[in-house]
Chains A and B, each alone.
Chain A
Amino acid sequence: MAIVDRRGRGDMRPWAFVAPALLWTIAFFCVPFAVMAVVSLWERVGTELVASWSFANYAKFFARGHFLQAMLNSLEVTLIVTVLSILLAYPLAWILAEKVPPRWQRIGLVCAILPFWTSYVVRSYAWVLVLANNGVVNQALQGVGLVDEPLSLANSRTATIIGFVHFFVMLLTLTIYANLVQLPKNYRRAAADLGAGSVATFVHIILPLTLPGIMVGAFLTFVLCIGDYITPQILGGNSELVMPQLIMLQIGRRADFPTASALAILLMVVVTLVYVACARWLKLERA
């Protein structure tokens, strides 16, 4: 409810509360974004940025095979990670919500997401330790005689996907669990009374009702996964570049900000398109 304005219409007090945050966002988020959009139309000549005002950097994206390939790699990895993470996280969330006594659920959940709080860098490094040629997994496999030669797991797309799935299983367990525990127990009883078996109840009642939780988690996974540089850089190596790696290459090697800006904006366009496609389900959650 609005407070009755005691000083008449010209009262500027409310603005004093909102202005600092708004100005901060404009200065350090909107302006940099505008600068990036402008720079993406420039080009780098020698060590100088030249205002050439052309879409050459965007044209380059479609003309150069390895630029386009990086986007395809990004989409492929992100899609695989999202689907795998949902498939692995859903049963765990369900077990936590259904099979675990209520007083233990919270502890189970906190444990399930504890490694979530390791930093990106550390988590990826830890997976290198696990997947390295002489790492834990390979030594264990060789120890029990399953393989003779170490599997080259590190520095591959598989390693990137494992690293990502590890992170997002935790995230999705959280969002799906939150959705599952909100479902009234009566729905299940009603379904049973009407003759539905446990499988039918799950397919027709539980699964549709948890779709919002899945979609929110899937969207978060998509956004965070497609924008991440660390995991593919540490675990995937340089064989199959994804977009963030390509962007960082432009900045790091050549300080080519125009190309990097154009690539970043193209990446944002893709994320926005996915958001628009998912918006229908994302809104459901608020209802």
Chain B
Amino acid sequence: MLVINGKAPVVAYSEIIAARIVNGVNAGAIKIEFVDDKKASPAVFNDDSSEVFNKIIKDFPDAFSQGFNEEVSNWIKISREDLVIKNFQKLAQSLEKLDTALNLKTFVLGGLDYSPADIACWGALRSNGMVGSIIKNKVYVNVSRWYTLLELDPAFGGAHEFLSKSLQDLKKASNVGKKKEGHKA
């Protein structure tokens, strides 16, 4: 089971996307739940909040076109450390690196399909409020093209709607609970 904190400072989009991809291949393989609590970990997978993304990839290697390797691991690190930051100048440097990596490549590691490196980077950028207008304005043309492509994939592009709808349901459910209690009293 994967528990996502919808109110985390950096929402765990990569983990949501990875879990949705796994469930696309093997329906219901990962039960996804949500909490709405600023203090909770961004993501908890089977009661463990460390390296959740890596564990999902490693536990379901068949769902991803490239499994876990050193290059993937390197991009996960970059996405965690450099792509979620909101300092514009530092973020600009990181985006430039990603842009360079995407020269002559459709996906981050090349190849014909996205790998966990793409999921990690895309999810990190999706969680970063600074990024939307940078993508739209094609400041880094390769990044914009790559981001827009993956957004067409429902596992990526639908992640935000899935999150916000799940959080709404969570809120409704908790309100229903409150009303019932009130009724009893």
Asked if A and B bind, the verdict is no
Write the residues of chain A forming the contact surface with B, with a CB cutoff of 8 angstroms: none
Write the residues of chain B forming the contact surface with A, with a CB cutoff of 8 angstroms: none
